[in-house]
Amino acid sequence: MQANLAKREPDWLARWESQGLYAQISAATAKLPAYHFVDGPPYANGDIHIGHAVNKVLKDIVVKSARLAGHHAPFVPGWDCHGLPIELQVEKKFGKVGEKLDAAAFRAKCREYALEQVERQRVDFKRLGILADWEKPYLTMQPAYEAEQLRVLARIVDNGHVVRGFKPVHWCLDCGSSLAEAEVEYQDKQSTAIDVAFAAADVAETAKRFNASDVDAIGFVIWTTTPWTLPANQGISLGADIDYALVRFEGQASALVVAEQLVGSLAQRYGASKFEALGVAKGSALEGLRAQHPFVNRRVPLITGEHVTLDAGTGLVHTAPAHGVDDYIVGQRFGLPVNNPVGSDGKFVIGTAVVEGQHVRKAEEPILAALREANALVHATTITHSYPHCWRHKTPLIFRATPQWFIAMDIAGLRGAALEAIDQTRWIPGWGRDRIHGMVADRPDWCISRQRTWGVPLSLFVHKQTQEKHPKSGELLRKVADAIETGGLEAWFGSTVADWLPAGEAEQYDKCPDTLDVWFDSGSAFQCSFKATNPAALDADGLAPQADMYLEGSDQHRGWFHSSLLNCVATRGASPYKAVLTHGFTVDEQGRKMSKSLGNVVAPQQVLKTLGADVLRLWVSASDYSGEIAISDNLLKRMADAYRRIRNTVRYLLGNLHGFDVTSDLVAPSEMLAMDRWAIAQAAKLQDEIRDAYAVQQFHSVYQKLHNYCVVDLGGLYLDVLKDRLYTTAPKSLARRSAQTALLHIAEAMVRWIAPVLSFTADEIWQLLPGDRSQSIFAQQFYQLPSVDLSGDGIDWTRLAAAREAVKKQLEELRAAGIIGSGLNASVQLYADGELAQTLSKPGDELRFWFITSGASVRPFADAPASVTTVTLENGDRLALQSQASPHEKCERCWHQVADVGSNAEHPTLCGRCVSNVFGDGESRRVI
């Protein structure tokens, strides 16, 4: 009777595990067309939260609905196991590498920690009712996965996409490493914004370009929010088509060069009530002039670049190629040095003017002091702006040029091929296409090297003199991969160059000390997950099949979707996925982010202990995942109510199928009562809608249709009307067997509809249905409902349902007035014409069962007295009706108040049909 999900679901899980249910399902569906789903690996660190639950349940629904649609759909879960967060956890206990543990022992502890986290998360994922190959997942730290990852890299190298460069990358001072784009998040930060005058090296020549005279000193004014980057300044960028003015501002010793369009706003900023423009020149006319760095013995050139705008600043851009992507690009065009004075520890290297040996976070004050001393600080203020931060440490990043390895976006056409692949992918919701398209179109080269201990080695050999990779890098990577597959990562880390390269060549090369970006790890899952867990799926060339779907949160457009796309396109020139589904983040009922300080965090573990997994799963399916997904205790209670409505509906079906023998009691569609045939037709129509909704991953639509069906179509109509026939006709009569047959067909269809969502409940229903249930519900396909022909019944059921609603409304008025207690205390007279009259007349005396009244008859609309109620139905039909209390006695068995109650002297409390149903041949039903 009671679901008691929280208590009973663990027992189901234990049974599934003891039966080897996942293996059974795989074997049962093995010959069906394959549906390839690749699980985006969660990071193996910390307990799962509600976002994890949403993600994994959605994936489970996708896979289970694919099986319903006739596919063999394996679900191999994965975990992301390398990288800094795990290193940090190990460092908390054992210190940094070299303090208590050498590098090999440190990696072993990282592996041990990751396995512990995998096991903790696996327990919670299984508790959610997710059927997957939990005993054989893919882990990015499996030797087979790590080895295949290097083979993926080898293909990318062979295809010409991997380059080495001394380029500025996001650098986290706390990580001590470069970061990928996906590891960068933007937060507001307070910075000191300064306007700095670089003195013109040749005042006369500069004045001449402005056609100005009588000028003693000129300053080119740049604006920056990162004063610490000034030691690395190598130039000043101008817009070639921007007009620049040479201006005397009140209070300034030198004439200043700024963008003409900004003169007025800059005068206000500098507190100058008066200013005079001495001349105007295009940026292109100023190119080639030089300026003196304020505190470094360096003259820097004026250059032009497309990145210069007038949105902020002065129109002249401080250019430090070592500390900015735009700076680097324009610097390469003009041959500027990439001078990086900041070490990997965040301190300025020895020899850096003003700030040598100081940390960049403490460099601002001495630099400002040096600018004031040189009379170069025109203005300083504090601003709040969006600034890149490390997603792990939440601390501001710096751009820092270091020797790194990159997957180049344009050298071998990767960007164009990736954009083409995006357009060939189905994005759910559709806005996902534009989001990732913009990211790929604008992104810089992908820095894939990291300075970490715990990760897959970037197993390249670098020439000591030229710093170029070995010409046979692809071949060598495959050689290293083979060794790692059998001997683990230490096959590389514990080796020397001589172990890989022949004598005479080994002395010329160094082993690359870096590890691969963890986004390269997970971004190789399109190939490596198959190699590690299902190598039989690989084709003759060793390539894995394209995934039918990837599914993750909306942040993965710049994360896993992105890295997977680039890796796969760079490897084989095609997208790793046919479709990508994106879901939003969880928020509370007021739309606020989950926060411990707000007290609005909903832990999935707690929901499982109180309401059970099926209620949580129902909430996931009911939510529109295309936006933010709201959750609260209140919303979950509503879901529990909705769950009970669905459960009770199925419980009614099961209860009335007690004793029904599928082999002997099933009634053929042609022999069934008209209403039962109609109910099957309605179920078939709904099944088509649910099948379509599953096919396009509109799970909230599945929930809405299913819930509405239980509440309105079944509970509010068919099952309500059916009670009389099920409870009063003879147990083995055609009338009752026809009803039971319809209920069985509906139950067979419904249990499949709900199986992807309410998995525990579906399994319980499946075991209780009559017939052979030896093969799991999760290996079934959509039920083949019988084909029924309604054309010969001559009944417009939509009209009949509309008339029923009109009668119910009038009966409710009588009930409210105290004239009747229930519909069976009443009889109703209807007046109608045309098709409505024909439909109402078809059931004959059985019409009363449709209205659940003790009497119902139909007469022409013209016979309706003026005093009766007339209504217009939705389709325009006119219906007059008059309901009144029945004057007859009540049958104690069926509760109908009819004239023949007591007509049988032996059974004075029964009506005629009940006497026949119990003691005689039984009543005959044909329609209702």
pLDDT in tens, 215-233: 999 999 999 999 999 999 9
Per-residue pLDDT, averaged over 869-891, amounts to 95
Q: Which of 109-118, 201-210, 586-595, 853-862 has the lowest mean pLDDT?
A: 586-595
Q: How many whole angstroms separate alpha carbon 331 and alpha carbon 581?
A: 40
How, if at all, do strands 255-259 and 243-249 pair?
antiparallel
CA geometry: angle at 209 spanning 205 and 215, to 5°? Answer: 60
DSSP 8-state assignment for residue 538: S
Query: Which range, of 296-300, 324-328, 507-511, 903-907, averages the lowest pLDDT?
Result: 324-328
Burial zone of 497 (CB within 10 Å; 0-12 exposed, 13-18 middle, 19+ buried):
middle
In the beta sheet, which residues pair with residue 182?
A: none
Instruction: For 192-219, write each residue's pLDDT tens digit.
Output: 999 999 999 999 999 999 999 889 999 9
Using 50, 70 and 90 to split pLDDT, how confident is the model at 644? Answer: very high
The number of helix segments (H) and strand segments (E) in the chain equals 31, 29
Say whether pLDDT at 399 is over 90: no
In this prediction, residue 592 has a pLDDT band, given cuts at 50, 70 and 90, of confident
Average pLDDT over residues 893-901: 97
Average pLDDT over residues 424-453: 93
Has residue 181 got a pLDDT over 90? no
Q: Please give the model's pTM, rounded to 2 decimal places.
A: 0.83
CA distance 348 to 787: 80
Q: How far apart are CA 244 and CA 626, in angstroms?
A: 48
**Distances from the Cα of 431 to the Cαs of 38, 58, 330, 434, in angstroms?**
22, 19, 33, 5
Q: Is the pLDDT of residue 501 over 80?
A: yes
- Judged against a pLDDT cut of 80, whether residue 597 lies above it is answered with no
Lowest mean pLDDT among 84-93, 605-614, 752-761, 888-897: 84-93
Per residue in 315-344, pLDDT tens? 999 999 988 888 988 998 898 988 889 887
Per-residue pLDDT, averaged over 155-180, amounts to 83
600 or 419: which leads in pLDDT? 419
- In the predicted model, what is the mean pLDDT of residues 292-304? 96
Report whether 123 contacts 81 (CB < 8 A).
no
For the chain, give the mean pLDDT: 94
Neighbours of 902 (CB within 10 A): 15
Lowest average pLDDT, out of 589-603, 781-795, 871-885, goes to 589-603
Cα→Cα distances 591→126, 627, 628, 629, Å: 29, 11, 8, 8
pLDDT of 601 above 90: no
In the chain, what are the helix, strand and coil shares in percent, each to the nearest 5?
Answer: 45, 20, 35
- What average pLDDT score do residues 900-909 get? 96
> What pLDDT is attached to residue 1?
63
Q: How confident is the model at residue 706 (pLDDT cuts 50, 70, 90)?
A: very high
Whether residue 484 is predicted with pLDDT greater than 90 in this model: the reply is: yes
Q: Give the model's pLDDT for residue 394.
A: 84
